Every structure is written in C-alpha cells, then in structure tokens.
C-alpha cells in the first residue's frame, strides 16, 4: 500500500520547486530584456554620444537646421545679413553681441524656440528655458530680448550650440546667408584639444557633432579640422581647427564657440 501522505508531500514539493524555478526564470528574462533594451537604446539614440545615423543625431541635425532657418528668415529682410544684437537699436551696445543676447533676440521675435537650442545629445549643464518671457520684447521701449535667457557654461546655459563669434574679419565676411563658412555646430573642447573629460564628449569617450555652414549646408564631423575647412597661413592653406583661434581675434580662420562676453579686444569664449 502506497504512503499517500508522502506522495502528496512529494507532489507539493515539486510544485513548489517549479514555482520558484519559474520565478527565477522570469527574473532572468527580465534582466536580459533590460540589458537588451539598454543596448538597443544606445544603438538607436546614441545615449549621450553623437553617432552618425542615430535618432538623437538626426534630431540634432533637424534642430540645427531649424535654428539656422531662423537666421535665414531674419536675413531675408536684412540684406542677407544675420541678426546682430547691437544693431537692433541705438541703446544696444557692442558688448551685447554675445551668445545669450543673440539667441534670446531671435526667440523674442519668434524666429526660433528655446527647445531647438538644446541638443538631445547634450549631457552638460544645459537646459531648455521653459519660462522665456516673450513680454520682455518691447522695441518701443528699446527692449529686444529676455535678459534672463542664459548662455553661461560656468553657471547655467540654455544653449547647446557653438557659433561664429560676432567679431573680426571672419564675422564681417561670413555673417550672412550667402557664404559657405562654418557657422554653428555642437560644442567642442577648449582650443580643439582632445579631452575626454570635456562635457562635449559623448559617454563613449569620443567627440563628434553636426556643423552647419552659413549657407545652410550641414555636415556630420568627427574631427576638429573637417575636410574642406582651411585658412591661409604663411602663404599656404592649412587645416583649420574650428574650435581654436589660429589667426588672431580679428582674423579669417573659422572659430565656433560660446561667447560669454564681448570687449574691444574680441570675444571671451567659454568651454566645458
């Protein structure tokens, strides 16, 4: 005669073991799915690293083109010349030709939105200005932008992108829609020197970005000296580091940066 109580216990143990095993298996599947989704997210979005073809890089390209389009629309009524803060009114000083005033003035006149100025690949101290004060634009009272809008990498910035400073021959010749000259891009490290600790680098320890020219053409670049960009030095054309002033503050070489201040000697550029 079989021992029914022992058989019942054995079956119960088997059911218990099966339930524990099932739970362990489900947990393992959840972990594997999490790892797979993380990998897919990195591949698709770039996860803070600028990679060609990712969703974030494509969005970044769209935003740069959108910002440039804002400059173009303004230039259509300004003899092809892009907006210059100090030219908006008699009370605006040359010292106002800085990154914050430039983009704030464009936002104030609805040429672009604050959101378009923050790159999806940016993982530094850059935030969208959700509370931009459009009522600050009062041209009759000689107020042309919201002064609270910030582009200060030492504190807080509402702008991800570097641009051609509004100073020198490079500015005089190329601050217009008809020129093909480096105009705006993702930020780079100080003086274009390799620095994986810079916030401008992706989490993959590499630098890459999108660059738009004055005429609106756009390129994905992975070097500080992109292909056709050169300047004349000692009678010869040499590769141009787009994040370093190599021809003096009033020179003709390309330089893209965040202008914190503007004085008589030229722009005070910031790096992070």
pLDDT by residue, tens only, the chain of 272 residues: 445 444 444 444 544 556 655 655 655 555 444 444 344 444 443 345 678 888 888 999 999 999 999 999 999 999 999 999 999 998 899 999 999 999 999 999 999 999 999 998 887 679 999 999 999 999 999 999 999 999 999 988 999 999 999 999 999 999 999 999 999 999 999 999 999 999 899 888 889 999 999 999 999 999 999 989 999 988 999 999 999 999 999 999 999 999 999 999 999 999 98
CA distance 128 to 54: 22
Asked if 84 contacts 166 with a C-beta cutoff of 8 angstroms, the reply is yes
**Pair (59, 31) in one structural domain:** no
The Cβ of residue 53 has, within 10 Å, a number of other Cβ atoms equal to 10
Tokens representing residue 208 in the block? 């890459």
φ, ψ (nearest 5 deg) of residue 186:
-60, 150
Give the structural domain span for 25: 1-45
**Pair (34, 71) in one structural domain:** no
**Pair (16, 139) in one structural domain:** no
Asked if 190 contacts 154 with a C-beta cutoff of 8 angstroms, the reply is no
**Pair (71, 162) in one structural domain:** yes
Provide the phi-psi class of 199: left if phi over 0, else alpha when psi is between -120 and 50, else beta.
Answer: alpha
pLDDT of residue 240: 97
CA distance 164 to 200: 17
pLDDT of residue 38: 41
pLDDT of residue 121: 86
Asked if 252 contacts 232 with a C-beta cutoff of 8 angstroms, the reply is yes
> What is the number of domains present in the chain?
2
Domain-located, residue 260: yes
> What is the rounded radius of gyration, in angstroms, for the C-alpha atoms of the chain?
26
Residue 29's SS3 state is helix
**Pair (122, 243) in one structural domain:** yes
End-to-end CA distance of the chain: 83
**Pair (3, 69) in one structural domain:** no
CA distance 62 to 116: 9
**Pair (34, 100) in one structural domain:** no
């Amino acid at each position: 005669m079989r021992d029914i109580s022992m058989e019942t216990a054995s079956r119960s143990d088997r059911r218990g073991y099966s339930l524990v095993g099932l739970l362990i298996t489900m947990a393992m599947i959840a972990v594997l799915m999490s790892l797979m989704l993380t990998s897919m997210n990195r591949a698709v979005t770039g996860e803070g690293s600028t990679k060609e073809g990712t969703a974030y890089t494509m969005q970044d390209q769209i935003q740069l083109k959108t910002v440039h389009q804002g400059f173009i629309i303004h230039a259509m009524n300004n003899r092809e010349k892009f907006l210059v803060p100090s030219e908006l009114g008699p009370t605006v000083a040359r010292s106002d030709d800085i990154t914050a005033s430039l983009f704030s003035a464009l936002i104030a006149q609805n040429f672009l939105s604050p959101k378009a100025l923050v790159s999806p690949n940016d993982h530094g101290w850059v935030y969208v200005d959700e509370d931009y004060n459009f009522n600050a634009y009062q041209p009759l009272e000689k107020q042309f932008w919201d002064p609270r809008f910030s582009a200060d990498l030492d504190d807080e910035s509402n702008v991800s992108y570097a641009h051609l400073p509004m100073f020198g021959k490079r500015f005089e010749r190329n601050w217009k829609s008809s020129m093909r000259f480096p105009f705006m891009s993702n930020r780079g490290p100080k003086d274009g020197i390799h620095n994986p600790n810079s916030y401008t680098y992706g989490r993959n320890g590499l630098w890459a970005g999108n660059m738009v020219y004055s005429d609106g053409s756009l390129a994905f670049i992975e070097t500080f000296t992109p292909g056709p960009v050169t300047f004349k030095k000692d009678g010869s054309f040499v590769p141009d580091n787009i994040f370093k002033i190599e021809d003096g503050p009033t020179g003709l070489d390309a330089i893209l940066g965040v202008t914190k201040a503007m004085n008589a000697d030229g722009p005070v550029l910031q790096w992070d």
